[in-house]
Homo-oligomer: A and B are copies of this chain.
Amino acid sequence: MAAQAAAALERLRQAAPLVHNITNVVVANVTANALLAAGASPAMVQAAEEVADFAPRAAALVVNIGTLSVPQLRAMRLAVPAARAAGRPWVLDPVAAGATPFRLAAAREMAALRPDVLRGNASEILALAGEDGAASRGVDSAHPTAAAHAAAARLARSTGATVAVTGAVDHVTNGERAVAVANGHPLLTRVTGMGCTATALIGAFLGAGLPPMEAATAGLALLGVAAERAAAEARGPGSFQVALLDALHGLRAADLAGAARLAPVPAGG
């Protein structure tokens, strides 16, 4: 499977896909730079007046609700159907989906628009699947990771999306099969926007023509391996961020083939 991720990286660099991002103000710069470093071409077009014109010009769309506003939600409602009508894949990042009713409603509305990939952390996936409450107090509650993986499988089946749950070990599932990505580093949790960066990289692989499972797996493996390299020379979260962009840029397909730790796991749910 690592060889497959390496081939995907070669394909990304040859395609240099234009990735349309409707994202939050905290990470806009970070994700644009990560896309550029990895070999894609980012565009951050988000006005309702133009997103439907622009989405078909890009190879993929990334929708991120991190600093959602009503005008931005209106733009998302126009961009997604325009991308889909043009045959463009898209990926959803339901940032902090469970934090407020406004955010949960928006995340669910977007999830119902059939994203190709949906990426979140365990609590976001549980919230989207409606399981931050009663269900998660059941058997799974002593095993929050297992609960999130099971919720991901159910969410994948109900939405048609490939669902990626990121954490110490990432879990990617389409509801039938699942892959674990065991790369990464704890410093990823001390820098803002690293989950959003994972989502954007998945968008780049989708834009390069990879199918959802392969795109999600390759995106997470690329970020995880780059993070491992960056952490090896970082002295804290500041130098880690810098080294991460250098690593995303410098990593060769062969490096990814050698370092990606991917394995099939039960789909759960």
Contacts and interface: CB of A to CB of B under 8 A. Distances in A.
Contacts of A244: 238
Judged by DSSP, the binding face of A is: helix
B50 A67 contact: no
A53 B190 contact: no
Interface residues of A, number: 55
A238 B197 CA distance: 15
Contact of A67 (B45, B53, B190): B45
B100 A33 contact: no
B192 A103 contact: no
Contacts of A250: 235-236
* Copies of this protein in the complex: 3
B245 A36 contact: no
B33 A192 contact: yes
A245 B236 contact: yes
A235 B239 contact: no
Interface in A24-45: 24-30, 32-33, 36-37, 42-45
Nearest to A234: B246
Contacts of A36: 189-192, 237
Contacts of A246: 234-239
A192 B49 CA distance: 23
Contacts of A13: none
Contacts of A45: 67, 96, 99-100, 103
B249 A37 contact: no
Given A25-B25, A70-B49, A242-B242, A96 B247 contact: no
A17 interface: no
A107 B85 CA distance: 28
A236 B54 CA distance: 30
Given A100-B53, A237-B246, A46 B33 contact: no
A243 B96 CA distance: 29
A177 interface: no
Given A49-B102, A68-B47, A192 B238 contact: no
Given A190-B36, A237-B246, A242-B242, A69 B71 contact: yes
8 contacts: A25-B44, A33-B191, A45-B96, A50-B102, A69-B71, A237-B246, A238-B242, A242-B242
